[in-house]
Structure 1
Amino acid sequence: MTSNLVKPSFGLPLDTEPMEAKSADALPDDSSQWQYEPKWDGFRCLAFKAGDEVELRAKSGKPLGRYFPEVVAMLRDLNAQEFVVDGEIVIEVEGSLSFDALQMRLHPAESRIRKLSAETPAKLILFDMLASADASLMDQPLSARRAALEALVRAEPASGLELSRCTKNLGTATKWLSESGQGSTDGVVAKLLNGEYRPGERAMVKVKRLRTADCVVGGFRYLANSREVGSLLVGLYNDQGKLDHVGFTSTIARQDRSTLTRELEALRSPPGFTGKAPGGPSRWSTERSGQWEPVRPELVVEVRFDHITGDRFRHGTKLMRWRPDKSPKQCTFDQILKT
């Protein structure tokens, strides 16, 4: 693809940054000023089209097209010849969106990508429009950009384009928020109806559903270049009574690290996790070392989390408190799978 894909009249280079959101604890409650949308569980994507040329760009600015050839082909086949849209690339598996399936696409082998694109095709859920038919829309209010986006989708009824749902009703948005965190969405985004599109700025508001779970400490990692604990590896007991690794927490107060390190080292004993165990460095961990120390499953900690994928916490969790009153065997998956 060429870097001159988008016509100069658009004024939108391929490295245009998507508008971002700042985190909040609650949704803004003035529905006369705000539009609410689900926060989809996928890869953020700006899609550029000029004639037969299509580019997909990730939030980082990196090209995504080679990993999702079916999305490129779908956009290329549209009757609309020139536009820039903002959306989320998602893959549905067994009725729910699968972030793991998206991750599998980031593969170096084109043959593997083609196989997966046929078996688990991706789709693009659209929620904003930056340019259309030779004109930039970024200085237009969201209400006008949304109208242009809806017109694009209506004009291509058989294309496979999908429009993100939205609402101005706070009650509906609150219901969406209560249902998020496991499955297709991981929160709700609020956007000002009269707001312009502001690339790279945190001009939206995002709220995630935060929940807590009591987990067993099955291991720990040291800080880089240190012999003090850097993170706790936590687990839950599965239906077979095995302790599965589900994530980590590194929000340990500095003044507690020395005492906690001594306590953990006194409990050091393999295997730590009797079911699924931690691997090396991966998207699940920000630790620089793949080494971890197993401990006897005697300590219980309450952690706060925001999203579950594949029976694991998507992101690092926040340590809320220790639970000496809780038996490790009480720390089971029903806490996170039935909430």
Structure 2
Amino acid sequence: MQLPVLPPVAPMLAKSVPGLPTDAQLGGGGLFEPKWDGFRSIVFRDGDEVEIGSRNERPMTRYFPELVQAFRSQLPPRCVVDGEIVIATADGLDFEALQQRIHPADSRVRMLAEKTPASFIAFDLLAVGDTDLMDRPFGERRAALLEALGGARPPVHVTPATGDRAVAERWFSEFEGAGLDGVVAKPLSAPYQPDKRAMFKIKHERTADCVVGGYRVHKSGPDAVGSLMLGLYDASGDLASVGVVGALPMAQRRALFTELQPLVTTFEDHPWNWSMAEQIRADGGRTPRNSEFSRWNNGKDLSFVPLRPERVLEVRYDHMEGSRFRHTAQFVRWRPDREPASCTYEQLETPVRYDLDDIVPGLR
């Protein structure tokens, strides 16, 4: 490639704030954008050469062949564009379908590209032609983005943006029903700063009381808890696995290990008795179901120690992805006053559904 900005480039990041930042915090003014829930990606195009870089600066080009084709026809001949890869459905954004693309088998990737095609939401322009725009203020880069991608057609889109705080507040409250993650605020005067938290993100934050159904051992050794596995009872009375709590101080991890030992049980007496079934791993191997594997790393062992579901924990979370927490939940406090059977999905707030086409026309 012969571009003024070459891969890899670490994306510019955002820091969490509890509410929309003021103009002063934004350095005199800013723009607000919907926070898309997908794979952050920087796209490099030089003629027929296209590379899609991920947030961790690793290439993702092979996982999205339909987007590579679209970039060759929709993007300027030589450019570097920052954005988000998403999969849009009638029910909103589908992050689980997006995760399934990270697969070693090319035939499966191409099958999924036809079955669940991805879209690209552009929100920054780092270079166009021979011009490096990274040192330019965001206001200039946004104008250049609109000019460069003004004629783009699905599956390539430019994210909506507004300088109106009232509109941004409405987006924050309404767009969650389409699977979006909140709102991002960007200073108009800021240059592009790779790997720096130079923007602001405002995300939804809620709490839920969950049953602790097990734990995973910490990587430091067998006498510390790595993460607590959380469950909620569904309408059938079954305890569903909904996510984990993982960010704990080491002293608390060791104390929890000792504290939870009296609750350790066998899989035969546990509601998550997955050991009777088998799953096919992506590499073709087979493994007991109670030794799960990560979609992101097929070799990462996610086996857990089962606990009698007798303890209740209050956690903080942002939103759900299907029946599970979209991100790792945060520890709030133990709830000895709550009965495990009372921890059901009914306690969760359900966002009002919002159509993605009303945010970005033609997205699905």
Fold match (TM-score > 0.5): yes
Instruction: Please give the range of the TM-score, normalised by the shorter of the 2 chains.
Output: 0.7 to 0.9
Map of 2:161 onto structure 1: 166
5+ residue gaps in structure 2?
275-288, 352-364
| Aligned-CA RMSD value | 2.6
Q: Name the % identity.
A: 43
Describe the shift of the 1:52–1:168 C-alpha distance in structure 2 as closer, same or farther (beyond 3 A). Answer: same
Q: Distance in 1 between matches of 2:48 and 2:92?
A: 32
Cα deviation digits, residues 247-304 of structure 1 (max 9, x gap): 111345555556644442222234433588975342699xx75332222222111001
1:180, distance to aligned residue in structure 2 (A): 6.0
Structure 1 counterpart of 2:322, one-letter code: G
Q: In the alignment, is the contact (CA less than 8 A) between 2:80 and 2:126 conserved in 1?
A: yes
Map of 1:209 onto structure 2: 204
Q: Equivalent of 1:83, from 79, 83, 87?
A: 79
Describe the shift of the 1:278–1:313 C-alpha distance in structure 2 as closer, same or farther (beyond 3 A). Answer: farther
Q: Equivalent of 2:20, from 23, 27, 31?
A: 27
Q: Distance in 1 between matches of 2:6 and 2:94?
A: 30
Q: Distance in 2 between matches of 1:296 and 1:265?
A: 10
Cα deviation digits, residues 99-143 of structure 1 (max 9, x gap): 111111111111111111111111110101111232122222211
1:44, distance to aligned residue in structure 2 (A): 0.8
Describe the shift of the 1:293–1:307 C-alpha distance in structure 2 as closer, same or farther (beyond 3 A). Answer: same
Cα deviation digits, residues 68-118 of structure 1 (max 9, x gap): 011110111137312111100111133311111111111111111111111
Structure 1 counterpart of 2:270, one-letter code: G
Map of 2:70 onto structure 1: 74
TM-score by length of 1: 0.88
Map of 2:309 onto structure 1: 297
The size of the alignment, in residue pairs, is 329
Q: Distance in 2 between matches of 1:19 and 1:171?
A: 26
Find out whether 1:118 has 2:114 as its counterpart.
yes
Describe the shift of the 1:300–1:144 C-alpha distance in structure 2 as closer, same or farther (beyond 3 A). Answer: same
Cα deviation digits, residues 166-189 of structure 1 (max 9, x gap): 111222223333346675322221
Map of 1:145 onto structure 2: 141
Equivalent residues in 2 for 1:1-339, closer than 5 Å: 5-7=1-3, 10=4, 12-30=5-23, 33-78=29-74, 80-156=76-152, 158=153, 160-179=155-174, 183-224=178-219, 225-252=221-248, 260-270=256-266, 271-274=269-272, 279-282=291-294, 290-336=302-348, 338=350
Q: In the alignment, is the contact (CA less than 8 A) between 1:302 and 1:320 conserved in 2?
A: yes
Describe the shift of the 1:52–1:291 C-alpha distance in structure 2 as closer, same or farther (beyond 3 A). Answer: closer
Q: Distance in 2 between matches of 1:258 and 1:59?
A: 32
Structure 1 counterpart of 2:317, one-letter code: F
Map of 2:279 onto structure 1: none
Describe the shift of the 1:116–1:250 C-alpha distance in structure 2 as closer, same or farther (beyond 3 A). Answer: closer
Q: In the alignment, is the contact (CA less than 8 A) between 2:92 and 2:177 conserved in 1?
A: no
Describe the shift of the 1:263–1:107 C-alpha distance in structure 2 as closer, same or farther (beyond 3 A). Answer: same
Describe the shift of the 1:58–1:325 C-alpha distance in structure 2 as closer, same or farther (beyond 3 A). Answer: same
5+ residue gaps in structure 1?
none
Bigger shift: residues 114-123 or 71-80:
71-80
Q: Distance in 1 between matches of 2:315 and 2:36?
A: 24
1:243, distance to aligned residue in structure 2 (A): 0.2
